[in-house]
Structure 1
């Protein structure tokens, strides 16, 4: 988790190339038998440092796949604040955005609906508000005029 956190911090500071390198190295060590929540978290953030929207989609799909193999109990063992269920809306939001960028609006709408269905797992904190706002923004963008 410390190494993943370091790569996330680099990406958030704008050092996308170094973050990609760190994520790649950790992914090679984890995959495919590695801890599912680690793989989920890493893939979720690795998607954010991709320049090609198809690569971003591939990483977001890996994150969703790994999330399906993890549990809230295991996530809390890694850190008390973590929850796979509360992470689902963000995973679907990212996938919806990926599909929107690639012009697949039907799949984008499908993931918006899936994220709306899981949004009840979000807290009433900054993270929850940010994801709900993203859901609303993308819903408006995808609505037929």
Structure 2
């Protein structure tokens, strides 16, 4: 018998808002996520805070604003346990979040021209890449890490074509 995930109205609301963003309604998605963030508060469920901040960062084309949300996602991941992550999805481990979280921070720092700080963050993403699953998601994050590493080396501040706010489908 397979365990059924617990009903999680907050995660359902986050998912609905993210769907709005994917459908091109970024302003509505941003408003919905900000309203949920207000309800959560700074000490709310770390899974909710991490997920929400991660997706909210994608809705900000300004790298400075996106960076704020990416740092919040990283901070929330630090308070998240594998047990709590597993309640949402069986087998989900927090270690697998870190390559993407550090990649996002590195990319925003790179876009802001802070190449040394970006290199530190991309190094952290590379250090944790073994935690990524095999398959399309892991491959996407590994490719993102390589691409951002190359852009940092080239001192390129151009948004990546795969960035969610530029119109690509990649979600890092």
- The answer as to 2:111 corresponding to 1:101 is yes
Q: Which runs of 5+ in 1 are unaligned?
A: none
The CA distance in 1 between the partners of 2:32 and 2:55, in whole Å, is 11
Cα offset, 1:89, TM superposition: 0.5
1:84 to 94, 107, 110: 94
SS in 2 for 1:120: helix
Structural mapping, 1:1-145, within 5 Å: 1-143=11-153
Cα offset, 1:81, TM superposition: 5.0
TM-score normalised by the chain length of structure 1? 0.95
The CA distance in 2 between the partners of 1:83 and 1:26, in whole Å, is 24
The CA distance in 1 between the partners of 2:124 and 2:90, in whole Å, is 25
User: Which range moved further: 7-16 or 78-87?
Assistant: 78-87
Q: Which runs of 5+ in 2 are unaligned?
A: 1-10, 156-172
The CA distance in 1 between the partners of 2:19 and 2:122, in whole Å, is 27
TM-score normalised by the chain length of structure 2? 0.81
SS in 1 for 2:113: coil
4+ residue stretches of structure 1 with deviation over 2 A?
Answer: none
Q: What is the Cα-based RMSD across aligned positions, in Å?
A: 1.3
Cα offset, 1:54, TM superposition: 1.1
Looking at secondary structure, tell me which structure has more helix per residue.
1
User: Which range moved further: 8-17 or 121-130?
Assistant: 8-17
User: 1:49-97: CA deviations, max 9, x gaps?
Assistant: 1132211110000000000010122101122253221111010110000
Cα offset, 1:115, TM superposition: 0.2
Q: How many residues align?
A: 145
The CA distance in 1 between the partners of 2:104 and 2:133, in whole Å, is 18
Cα offset, 1:143, TM superposition: 2.0
SS in 2 for 1:80: coil
